[in-house]
């Protein structure tokens, strides 16, 4: 009797852990997508910066804000883009850290789940023998 | 001959199930598909960019162009393009700038370059995935075919003792031959005719080296009686030869298989000792190629028929190994100059296989690493192709 309750507990535990693992994996997936987006943006910004650097001093630069093109100073635009790149890089770093953290968690969860499964199996095997 | 403890035979299928490998392969294939789509998209960008470059180049040719101006989604109305040398270029991130046509073209060309580099990296990625996929696929097929991994410890001491043995036996064999000259002559004739037949077969089939090893092996075991056995062996050989040949053709991995289960295949035809010998033979066959770097290792196996082929191939390296081997090599190898008396050398050689078998080094036929995968294939293939060589040797001998 007691063993069966223990098994039930273990199974419940296992279920919970599996759910947690699933959640973490989902988060990791989201994080990956976000990261991808940021990487693409970073690439684009770098391209823009390169082009801005190539522009002559008196070139007209506009920024599309909503439906209107707003004329901007070249130096200003340049600074803006640089700032944006900085921001994105920082964001990427942050995401990387989070990702690492989550992967660690994921591995831990996986291990615990494996252990739980083993315990369950051993208990069930013991029961079968008995 | 082969102590059971010498090596382990692990079916590849037990390491990776075929299903798993196939799943992995299909997964990688999927990824390749994704990358392909991505690359197509990029390629489209490149094409569009090229078109745009052409257009922008042409625009300033005229002062104005008559065009149909899109108005909303559905409607167009006639209009005229003026200021043909002015472009508002989207740099990205919602930044625009006024550019002349020429500047725009330059910009577009730079963009094209970045696109090309992206495509390039994507191509590399796809290639990577493809090798991965092919690796998984081959693993799957190998597992399905029942390929086995054979590991055997290489014990160096064994080599010396067997050599002595073999040399001792040699004389005995010869002396025995003298005593029973008549018998031998008979046998000789039979053997030679048989050999001729074999040769013809081999020429036709190209690969059948394994059989001969048998022939020679049997004598080793049954020294004096060897002649009778020899004859038998030869007959058995032919059968085996064909069978083996077929196997080899079907799959690269077959040789290994045979080594693993050879007894079952061959037993019926040949007397026991031979069977063993065969098994041993096969092993060296597959392994030597791996360890070809050090000739010493290979020498053992080479004494046997197939192995001899190895010798002839890599003869230079192996000859260093020892006079005995040299003798063998010269006698049995394709270098026809060697001794003309067929039986003598062959018999002599027979003893060696024994020690070869014992000697056999560790050879894991299957490597699991990526890159090695391909290499293993080549190894196995080479082993397969080997058998064909002995034929030439044989011919040489007879002449």
Q: What is the CATH number of the domain that holds A76?
A: 1.10.287.370
Residue count (chain B): 399
The winner for highest mean pLDDT among B20-34, B178-192, B344-358 is: B20-34
Kindly tell me the sign of the dihedral angle through the C-alpha atoms of A79, A82, A87, A90.
Answer: negative
Please give the pLDDT value at position B22: 86
Residue B339, CA atoms < 13 Å, CB-side half-sphere? 15
Q: Which residues of B touch A52 (CB under 8 A)?
A: 91, 95, 97
pLDDT of amino acid B111: 92
Cβ contact (<8 Å) for B93 and A60?
Answer: no
Percentage of chain B exceeding pLDDT 90: 23
Greater model confidence, B178 or B31: B31
- List pLDDT tens digits, range B47-59: 999 999 999 999 9
pLDDT of residue A83: 95
Among candidates B294, B280, B295, which has minimal Cα distance to B6?
B280
Determine whether domain B18-137 maps to CATH 2.60.120.560: no
Return the number of CB contacts < 8 Å for A and B: 50
Whether residues B98 and A60 touch (CB distance < 8 A) is answered with yes
* Chain A residue nearest residue B109, CA to CA: A51
* pLDDT value, residue B317: 41
Pick the residue from chain B with its C-alpha nearest to A58: B98
* Rounded CA separation A83/B93 (Å): 13
| Residues in A touching B88 (Cβ below 8 Å) | 62, 69
Instruction: Name the more confident of B149 and A84.
Output: A84
Q: Render pLDDT for B287-305 as a digit per residue (tens, 0 to 9).
A: 444 444 444 444 444 444 4
Residue B256 scores a pLDDT above 60: no
Please tell me which residue, A40 or B333, carries the higher pLDDT value. A40
pLDDT above 70 (res B280): no
Joined tokens for residue B92:
């990205």
Q: Is a pLDDT exceeding 60 seen at residue B254?
A: no
Averaged pLDDT, A43-65? 91
Q: What is the DSSP string of A33-49?
A: HHHHHHHHHHHHHHHHH
Q: What is the mean pLDDT of residues B38-43?
A: 95
| Domain layout of chain B by residue ranges | 18-137, 148-398
Number of structural domains (chain A) is: 1
Could you give the ipTM of this predicted complex?
Answer: 0.76
CB B355 within 8 A of CB B163: yes
Query: How high is the pLDDT of residue B378?
Result: 41
Q: Is B122 on the interface with A (CB under 8 A)?
A: no
Q: Using alpha carbons only, how large is chain A's radius of gyration in Å? A: 26
pLDDT band at B186 (very low <50, low <70, confident <90, very high): confident
Residue B114: the pLDDT is 92
Domain span including residue A120? 2-129
Q: Which residues of chain A have a CB within 8 Å of the CB of B110?
A: 50-51
């Amino acid at each position: 009797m007691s063993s069966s309750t223990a098994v039930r507990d273990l199974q419940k535990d296992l279920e919970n852990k599996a759910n947690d693992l699933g959640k973490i994996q989902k988060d990791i997936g989201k994080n990956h997508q976000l990261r991808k987006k940021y990487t693409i943006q970073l690439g684009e910004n770098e391209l823009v910066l390169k082009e801005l650097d190539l522009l002559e001093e008196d070139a007209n630069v506009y920024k599309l804000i909503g439906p209107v093109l707003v004329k901007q100073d070249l130096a200003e635009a340049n600074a803006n883009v640089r700032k944006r790149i900085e921001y994105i890089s920082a964001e990427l770093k942050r995401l990387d850290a989070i990702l690492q953290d989550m992967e660690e968690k994921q591995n831990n969860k996986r291990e615990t789940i494996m252990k739980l499964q083993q315990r369950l199996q051993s208990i069930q095997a013991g029961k079968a023998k008995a | 001959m082969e102590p059971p403890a010498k090596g382990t035979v692990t079916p590849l299928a037990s390491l990776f199930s075929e299903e798993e490998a196939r799943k992995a392969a299909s997964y990688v294939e999927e990824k390749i598909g994704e990358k392909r789509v991505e690359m197509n998209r990029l390629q489209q960008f490149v094409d569009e960019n090229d078109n745009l470059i052409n257009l922008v180049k042409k625009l300033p040719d005229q002062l104005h162009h008559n065009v149909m101006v899109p108005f909303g989604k559905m409607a167009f109305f006639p209009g005229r393009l003026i200021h043909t040398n002015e472009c508002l270029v989207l740099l990205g991130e919602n930044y625009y700038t006024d550019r002349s046509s020429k500047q725009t073209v330059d910009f577009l060309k730079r963009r094209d370059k970045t696109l090309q580099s992206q495509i390039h990296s994507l191509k590399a990625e796809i290639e990577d995935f493809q090798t991965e996929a092919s690796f998984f696929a081959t693993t799957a097929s190998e597992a399905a075919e029942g390929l086995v991994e054979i590991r055997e410890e290489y014990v160096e001491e064994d080599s010396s003792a067997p050599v002595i043995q073999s040399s001792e036996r040699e004389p005995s064999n010869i002396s025995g031959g003298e005593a029973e000259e008549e018998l031998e002559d008979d046998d000789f004739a039979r053997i030679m005719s048989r050999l001729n037949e074999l040769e013809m077969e081999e020429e036709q089939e190209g690969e059948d080296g394994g059989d001969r090893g048998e022939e020679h092996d049997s004598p080793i075991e049954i020294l004096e009686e060897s002649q009778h056995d020899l004859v038998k062996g030869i007959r058995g050989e032919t059968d085996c030869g064909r069978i083996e040949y077929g196997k080899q053709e079907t799959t690269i991995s077959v040789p290994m298989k045979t080594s693993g289960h050879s007894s079952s295949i061959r037993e019926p035809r040949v007397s026991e000792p031979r069977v063993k010998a065969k098994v041993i033979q096969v092993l060296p066959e597959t392994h030597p190629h791996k360890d070809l770097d050090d000739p010493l290792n290979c020498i053992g196996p080479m004494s046997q028929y197939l192995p001899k082929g190895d010798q002839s191939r890599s003869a230079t390296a192996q000859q260093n190994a020892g006079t005995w081997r040299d003798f063998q090599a010269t006698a049995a190898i394709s270098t026809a100059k060697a001794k003309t008396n067929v039986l003598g050398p062959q018999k002599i050689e027979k003893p060696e296989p024994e020690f070869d078998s014992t000697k056999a080094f560790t050879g894991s036929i299957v490597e699991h690493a990526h890159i090695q995968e391909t290499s293993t294939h080549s190894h196995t293939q080479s082993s397969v192709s080997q058998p064909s060589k002995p034929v030439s040797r044989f011919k040489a001998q007879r002449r």
